[in-house]
Amino acid sequence: MPKQLPPLDLLRKLLRYDPDEGCLYWRERSPDLFLDNGNTAIHSCNAWNAKNANKRAFTSYDRNGYLHGRIFGSAYQAHRVIWAMQNNIWPEQFIDHINGIRDDNRLSNLRCASVTDNNRNMRLSVRNKSGCVGVFFHKLTNKWVASIGVNRKSVYLGYFLEKSDAIDARKKAETEYGYHKNHGLIKKSQI
């Protein structure tokens, strides 16, 4: 069962979004958000505000490189929270980082995307050896192979003597099948 998403008015009560930086900040909290567990709610509230109010929120990275944080013990990705706060609805699909930088959460860099659209805007994998998604060297034939994913199937684009010809075939197919212009770009950390 999926976790219960916090109401949008609660998000706005807890968090402030800076659109220029693309960052979330914790707002001051009121005592009604705290329980009397050993300390009074007022004491817990004052301690929390002294430590967290007006400071950056959602500053941890998950294993996939996305910023995330916790709201009352449940983890949420920053880009999904930002999208929900700015669009008055929790996204049902993926939220794609248009430029491929997973911690760039400026609203202008976020878009709602299907699985297919999201996959068509992926950066080049660090494991890629050819420098181009969908292009690899086939040792048995001593040729370069190009392919592309379409409708969950791999479409063969051909064998090529020159790597540049395989890359050209792949790039042409990306345009033909509606891949994002940033698909397959090299991450700055790979340079």
In tens, the pLDDT along 168-180 reads 999 999 889 888 7
Q: What is the pLDDT of residue 191?
A: 42
Q: What is the pLDDT of residues 67-82, one digit of tens each?
A: 999 999 899 999 999 9
For residue 71, the cross-strand partners are: 74
Number of structural domains the chain divides into = 2
**Mean per-residue pLDDT for 142-163?**
92
Residues in the chain: 191
Phi, psi of 102 (to 5 degrees): -70, -15
Q: What is the pLDDT of residues 8-27, one digit of tens each?
A: 999 999 999 999 999 999 99
Q: How far apart are CA 172 and CA 134, in angstroms?
A: 12
What range does the domain containing 65 cover?
Answer: 8-118
> Does one domain contain both 82 and 110?
yes
Residue 127 neighbours by CB under 8 Å, 6+ apart: none
Q: What is the pLDDT of residue 99?
A: 87
Residue 187: pLDDT band by 50, 70, 90 thresholds?
A: low
> Does one domain contain both 111 and 144?
no
3 belongs to a structural domain: no
Q: pLDDT at residue 152 above 90?
A: no
For residues 26 and 15, is the Cβ–Cβ distance under 8 A? yes
User: Domain end: 118, 133, 167, which one?
Assistant: 118
Q: How far is CA 31 from CA 8, 26, 27, 111, 153, in A?
A: 20, 15, 13, 36, 55
> Does one domain contain both 113 and 156?
no
Write 124-133 long-range contacts (CB < 8 A, 24+): 124/184, 124/185, 124/186, 124/187, 124/190, 126/187, 126/190, 130/163, 130/166, 130/167, 131/167, 131/186, 132/166, 132/167, 132/170, 132/171, 132/184, 133/170, 133/183, 133/184
Average pLDDT, the chain: 90
> Does one domain contain both 110 and 42?
yes
pTM listed for this prediction: 0.76
> Does one domain contain both 67 and 161?
no
> Does one domain contain both 60 and 86?
yes
Residue 189: pLDDT band by 50, 70, 90 thresholds?
A: very low
Residue 1: pLDDT band by 50, 70, 90 thresholds?
A: very low
- Using the Cα atoms of residue 179, residue 126, residue 95 and residue 150 in order, give the sign of their dihedral: positive
pLDDT over 70 for what percent of the chain?
A: 95
Q: How far apart are CA 119 and CA 180, in angstroms?
A: 9
